[in-house]
Structure 1
Amino acid sequence: MESIELREPVILDIPADPASLGLMRGLVERIVHRMEFPREEADRMVLAVDEACSNIIRHAYGNLQGGRIVVTFGIYDDRLEVRIRDFASPADPQTFRARDLEKVRPGGLGMHFMRSAVDEMEYELPPDGGMLLKMVKYRVNKEVPET
């Protein structure tokens, strides 16, 4: 099997604007297709990245124009690493809570979607401000070339 690993990351720097999300979703779709993720996993990964970027637009930037989102894709034979960076005032990741699934009301399910779509998820506070979300999805049952 031919290696799909890229030596350099793929970087998408977009305005923190809902109109930019279609471009980002299209890129995620192309990457998960290239990596041959099963359709359901691929769709959930697209939703997770979309939800993370939507949360940045809504919560970090308060729907105000002028913010940036940088999405970095590390494409490896065994996994996809997605790093989503904003440059807004940092928030405490400990306060990010998914709502109780027992309570029926609109909104608040993004964290559930994101966590269920990936194998690893963590927030970091870069020293120069903003937030960095790292999500990792492993490829299962795929042959990885010997190095």
Structure 2
Amino acid sequence: MIRLRYATMPSNGGSRTSTGTIQTPPTPMADTSTEPEVQLRMFSQPRFLAAVRALVGTMAQRLGFTEMQCGQISLAVDEALCNVITHGYERRPDGQLWINFWALEGEPTGLKIVIEDLATQVDPDDIQPRDLDDIRPGGLGVHIIREVMDEVNWERRSPKGMRLTMIKRLQPGRNSELKNE
């Protein structure tokens, strides 16, 4: 099950929030200064990953990222979610994940993505990429995330779970206006 929450602008210039049925995300939120533009809740089931990749790619495209960057950002989010599903929730299908998105304004513009869960905690210092000389299938998620994103930060949540904050900035000179397609 995937539930989506997003901010909308009514015609009178005010603001409102449209929501489907959504469980309140774990507290504290990753960024309490502003609500995320898009908030997604999903269960720890790989069958929902394609929908999340599509959403991430579309958001990145609308913010002005290149097609290649959109694919890379989607891949980084997919790898992060796979790690939570596989390692944090040990493939249990009832774990919950919250994915929050902010369009970064100012210079440089970009996209901030925060993934929160209630899974098994790990020491953030222990989250290291596998040695690239160790050739075998799998295990490159952390490497991909760190290579693709400009900022990456894992932290423990209280009392349980983890939070991953990822930021990708637009390169100077790219059109960073929200596209109205």
TM-score (norm 2): 0.72
From 125, 130, 133, give the equivalent of 2:161: 130
From 62, 70, 73, give the equivalent of 1:45: 73
Residues 13-70 of structure 1: per-residue CA shift (max 9 Å, x gap): 0011001111211110110110110111111100000000000000000001210110
Question: In 2, distance between residues paired with 1:108 and 1:14?
Answer: 23
- Percent of aligned positions with the same letter in both sequences? 35
Worse overlay, 17-26 or 55-64: 17-26
Does the C-alpha gap of structure 1 residues 143 and 26 become closer, same or farther in structure 2, counting only changes over 3 Å?
Answer: closer
Residues 1:79 and 2:110 are matched in the alignment:
yes
1:1-147 alignment, distance < 5 Å: 8-9=35-36, 10-77=38-105, 78-140=109-171, 141-142=173-174
Residues 83-139 of structure 1: per-residue CA shift (max 9 Å, x gap): 001101211111112111112111111111111110000011122310000000001
**Richer in helix (by share):** 1
What's the secondary structure of 1:98's corresponding residue?
coil
Question: In 2, distance between residues paired with 1:143 and 1:105?
Answer: 39
**Is the CA contact 2:63–2:176 (under 8 Å) kept in the aligned structure 1?**
no
**Is the CA contact 2:103–2:110 (under 8 Å) kept in the aligned structure 1?**
yes
Question: In 2, distance between residues paired with 1:114 and 1:135?
Answer: 8
Does the C-alpha gap of structure 1 residues 144 and 113 become closer, same or farther in structure 2, counting only changes over 3 Å?
Answer: closer
Which segments of structure 1 move beyond 4 Å, counting only runs of 4 or more? none
Worse overlay, 59-68 or 100-109: 100-109
Question: In 2, distance between residues paired with 1:144 and 1:46?
Answer: 18
Gaps of 5+ in 1: 1-6
User: Please, what is the CA RMSD of the aligned residues?
Assistant: 1.6
Does the C-alpha gap of structure 1 residues 46 and 143 become closer, same or farther in structure 2, counting only changes over 3 Å?
Answer: closer
Q: Report which structure shows greater RCO (CA 8 Å, sep ≥6).
A: 1
